Amino acid sequence: MAPSVPRTRAAATLHMKQIALDNQDRTIRHLRAQLATERRGLAATKKEIEETQVALEASHKVIAGLTEIGLSMSKKIERMKVKKQKFRANHEECHQKFQARIHAAEDSMQAQHLLIEALVDEKDSLLQTIHGLQEANNAPAPFDGDWEEEPEEEPEEEEIGDFPLGEGEIDDE
């Protein structure tokens, strides 16, 4: 039996090595299959990352465009605010000039009214003086007692637009 034991051992050793090689071969095939699966997963992930990168670049372009539009709008709004302030200041100045012209016209009308009243009073005084002198001189009354006072006429209010414009004044019409 002795001579067959070494053969059996060698065969067993070879059989064990064959089993180990078969196991390693299965492990390698299994690892290659896992590697192929991982490579496919990585390729899909890489493709997703590239698509995401393209989408991000497009988003950045859109954001940059919107930012540019926003800045442009801000500048336009600031210019409009400046124009509005200038318009308000100009409007206020015109309003003040207009009010000053109205007050000047009212003052002028009041002064004319006072002057007319003073002239009427002076006319009455002169008529009384003439009448007194005629009575003192025994002269006939020139008015024969049919004297009617002229009705006081209210001065017609002139339209404000009828006043001549001064230099530098704005005509609102």
The answer on pLDDT for 158 being more than 80 is: no
Residue 94, C-beta contacts closer than 8 angstroms, at least 6 positions apart: 170, 172
Q: Residue 1: what pLDDT?
A: 45
The answer on pLDDT for 74 being more than 80 is: yes
Query: N- to C-terminal Cα distance for the chain?
Result: 138
Min mean pLDDT across 16-30, 31-45, 115-129, 142-156 is at 142-156
Residue with tokens 């009010």: 99
pLDDT in tens, 17-32: 999 999 999 999 999 9
The model carries a pTM of: 0.41
